[in-house]
Copies of this chain bind each other. A is one copy, B any other.
């Protein structure tokens, strides 16, 4: 690297806000830090980027190491580059957000995390570093994104009912939605496939199960289709 010897180098970390949904509330996965600084504090998972891995690969690796999660929807969020944001010195953090189906990802703490645990976004503990800011940006992004791209399905199990889907949207957007209008709109898009199964959940009428039609979505996108709400 002949050209850059003279340049001072900051450290670069990745941090990921991992969202999940428990059927009622939007959740975020936090780890309890095992190491200084902020040992014992809650934080979003993350760590240093190695020299021989891309930034995105680092985010995936840290998620795997600290929480056991792999194969998730992951998208870059924002890079936090204030000079004093980390007591260890100059550390620039590339933040990501991830959407997982908690049912498919039993979390298991490891690496430099004492434990990993889901918290409802409405009741988060104090967080290490500037992670509260990162979470706030991630939430804003998710709320924006969910309205014009079908990312909600990343948070639901492969088979779901329309009521579950609606509850998810209500949890993310923080508003009540009209049941008939919601169904009319979402079914009208032709992105859901009705399965031959139903879900029985108590002493009432069983609900039709659906799955998201990835292929139809990709096809529609090519033709200029825009998912909306």
A residues bordering B, Cβ < 8 Å? 1-4, 7-12, 36-37, 48-56, 58, 76, 78-79, 81-83, 88-92, 94
Contacts and interface: CB of A to CB of B under 8 A. Distances in A.
Contacts of A37: 3
| Secondary structure type dominating chain A contacts | loop
A88 to B, nearest CB: 4
Given A76-B78, A88-B1, A52 B83 contact: yes
A148 to B, nearest CB: 9
9 contacts: A3-B36, A3-B89, A4-B48, A9-B11, A12-B92, A49-B81, A55-B81, A79-B94, A92-B94
Contacts of A49: 10, 81, 92
Contact of A81 (B54, B82, B88): B54
A82 B54 contact: yes
Contacts of A91: 4
Contacts of A53: 83
A53 B8 CA distance: 12
Nearest to A47: B7
Contacts of A1: 88-90
Contact of A11 (B4, B50, B55, B76): B4
Contacts of A50: 8
A74 B55 CA distance: 23
A54 B85 CA distance: 10
- Going nearest first, the 4 A-B pairs with the smallest beta carbon separation are A55-B81, A1-B89, A9-B9, A3-B88
Nearest to A78: B76
Of A7, A53, A55, most B-chain CB atoms within 10 Å: A7
Contacts of A2: 88
Contacts of A52: 83
Contacts of A89: 1, 3-4
Nearest to A56: B81
A48 B81 CA distance: 13
Contacts of A48: 4, 7
